[in-house]
């Protein structure tokens, strides 16, 4: 079986690094990916694709990428579900990244404390 996804899109917000209870770095991002055709109004629609990045890919993306930055991601599609408190089954489909390429101009690394304070801005 083949399960391979390739995306190029823009980050919809600054990525935030989190850690699992075992200490594994992870970040969840959303890529805005333009469709390659126009709708009936002549506009290009955009899909917003949820992606999960693990370990060094997550760390590097959080350190070097900002909202609006262009990323290339290859990975696999994964579906999962959970039951909400109201008893409704919620389905989630996401891309689990296996490779991440930074396609914007090379930004400077940002110190996590500076980012929280809003003292540094990096243009992409």
Q: Is 84 helix (H, G, I), strand (E, B) or coil?
A: coil
pTM of the predicted model over 0.95: no
Question: Quick one: CA dihedral 82, 84, 85, 88, positive or negative?
Answer: negative
Does any domain span residue 123?
Answer: no
Domain extent for 86:
5-117
Residues 6+ apart with CB under 8 A from 65: 11, 14, 15, 71, 102, 104, 107, 124
Say what the pLDDT of residue 109 is. Answer: 55
Task: Give the CATH number, domain containing residue 60.
Answer: 2.40.50.140
**How many domains are contained in the chain?**
1
Tens-digit pLDDT profile for the chain (124 aa)?
999 999 999 999 999 999 999 999 999 999 999 998 888 888 899 999 999 999 999 999 999 999 999 999 999 999 999 999 999 999 999 999 999 999 987 655 555 554 444 443 333 3
């Amino acid at each position: 079986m083949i399960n391979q996804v390739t995306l190029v899109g823009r980050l919809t917000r600054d990525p935030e690094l989190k850690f699992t209870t075992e200490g594994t770095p992870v970040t969840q991002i959303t890529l805005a990916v333009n469709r390659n055709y126009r709708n009936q109004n002549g506009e290009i629609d955009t899909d917003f694709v949820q992606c999960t990045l693990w370990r060094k890919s997550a760390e590097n993306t959080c350190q070097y990428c900002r909202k609006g930055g262009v990323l290339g991601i290859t990975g696999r599609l994964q579906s999962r579900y959970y039951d909400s408190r109201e008893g409704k089954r919620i389905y989630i489909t996401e891309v689990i990244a296996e490779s991440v390429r930074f396609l914007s101009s090379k930004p400077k690394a940002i110190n996590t404390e500076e980012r929280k304070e809003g003292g540094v801005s990096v243009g992409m």
